[in-house]
Amino acid sequence: MRGAETMRVIVTRPQQEARQWVNALDEAGYEAVALPLIGVAPAPDAAAVIAAWSRLPTYDAAMFVSGNAVDYFFALKPAMAPVFTAQAAIKTRAFVTGPGSHSALLRAHVHTDMIDAPDRDAGQFDSEALWAVVSHRVQPGYRVLVVRGIGGATGGEANAGVGRDWFANQVRAAGGSVDFVVAYQRLQPVMEEGERALACQAAEDGSVWLFSSSEAIDNLVSACAGQSWSQARAVVTHPRIAQAAHAAGFAVVCESRPTLAALMASIESLQ
């Protein structure tokens, strides 16, 4: 077993998102390694995203399923789109499920007063927690645009897709309507031989895997066909991801809130 100062942590988030976690874990004394198991690319139909921007003032709210949904949607924002600001005549609100997506909205210059999200001290960051915050807003005729991704080995967004559809059903049940726009693609990355060797070693040597998507687990198992995960340990950020890790055969699965402080506490608990 590795000591606390040298325990290796495998960060599986997309490359750009992994950087913050890797840097923080390195500073905390862990050996953090980025092994992105989900690739991200722009929407296959940019015209559809631009058209959604033109219709945005007709919606009462836009729900962003992830930080990537925010980043790629705003990458195609027309220069003169006056939305998501307190001063705008059109009061379209921005809904997000967690602090990562909330931070992405702030980077996109969305005014904090126009954002609805679970409290940072919430027990869980998902569509159910978001609905508890915004359900009072949704009345008959309320219109929501869901900004999502598409693709991946599982043909969808894995745990994000489950929550997205659940949220849409709640809006409809309350008398509202929901439209969708695809802002980005999720891809299964091609794992190089050295990365595959690292993954197989980390399955057996006491490393801790960090998963924030069940799709990442699917991609890992697919890339390392035949590898046993019966000695592997994982920290995951949602019960649905925990189910996927157990199904893949991970020996130890610890659930954590998706904040760096909570993740490091969970990693510490596995020593």
Residue 163 reports pLDDT greater than 80: no
User: What are the phi and psi torsion angles at 211 (to 5°)?
Assistant: -125, 125
Residues 221 and 167 in one domain: no
Mean pLDDT of 231-243: 94
Cα distances (angstroms) measured from residue 34 to each of 22, 125, 177, 266: 7, 23, 40, 18
Residues 105 and 66 in one domain: yes
Query: CB 118: neighbour CB atoms within 10 A?
Result: 23
Q: Are 30 and 267 in contact (CB under 8 A)?
A: yes
Q: Are 104 and 67 in contact (CB under 8 A)?
A: yes
Structural domain range at position 243: 8-38+191-269
Q: What is the pLDDT of residue 270?
A: 87
Distance CA 253, CA 53 (A): 41
* Residues 185-221: tens digit of each pLDDT: 999 888 999 999 999 999 999 999 999 989 999 999 9
pLDDT band of 158, cuts 50, 70, 90: very low
Distance CA 21, CA 255 (A): 17
* Residues 90-106: tens digit of each pLDDT: 689 999 998 889 999 99
Q: How remote is the C-alpha of 261 from its chain's centroid?
A: 17
Residue 159 reports pLDDT greater than 50: no
Residues 47 and 145 in one domain: yes
Residues 111 and 54 in one domain: yes
Mean pLDDT of 8-22: 89
DSSP per-residue letters across 144-160: EEEEEEEESTTSS-THH
Nearest to 100 by CA among 233, 213, 248: 213
From 187, 211, 246, give the residue that closes a domain.
187
Residue with tokens 């015209």: 47
* Residues 18-61: tens digit of each pLDDT: 888 899 999 989 999 999 999 999 999 999 999 999 999 999 99
